[in-house]
Amino acid sequence: MNQTLLYPLIMSVGVLISSVSQFMLKKAAQKEYSSVLKEYLNPLVIGAYFILFLASLCSVFAYRVVQLSLGAVIESTSYIYVTVLSAVLYKERITVKKIIALILIVSGIIVFSM
């Protein structure tokens, strides 16, 4: 696979799994714990931080080839992932304001890539 496609794809996967780790942390934060230690040292939190670490590695690895300006655009796609995942996993409503915001984000990505 061409490097100009592979590295942005690696970065995009990193952004996606970073979004998933945010949801894991949110799920863990919604639970009640008997101690502070159990709040931070449970499988969900540890797994989320491990996934976030992997996402960071993807970004660092991808930035070897991806330009910083393009990296910022790829990172901004996380807003799209979080909005879609919150609608699917938490049944949150996608309001008109959210749709307008997503349209602006996607428009910015399109304009920048031209």
pLDDT tens-place string over residues 26-83: 888 888 888 888 888 889 999 999 999 999 999 999 999 999 888 988 898 898 899 9
CA distance linking residue 52 with residue 59, whole number of Å = 11
Q: Give pLDDT, residue 30.
A: 87
Q: What contacts 21, CB < 8 A, 6 or more positions away?
A: 48, 49, 51, 52, 55
Tokens of 5: 């496609």
pLDDT bucket at 97, cuts 50 / 70 / 90 = very high
Q: Give pLDDT, residue 49.
A: 95
Residue type, 5: L
Query: What's the predicted TM-score (pTM) here?
Result: 0.81
pLDDT at 1 over 80: no
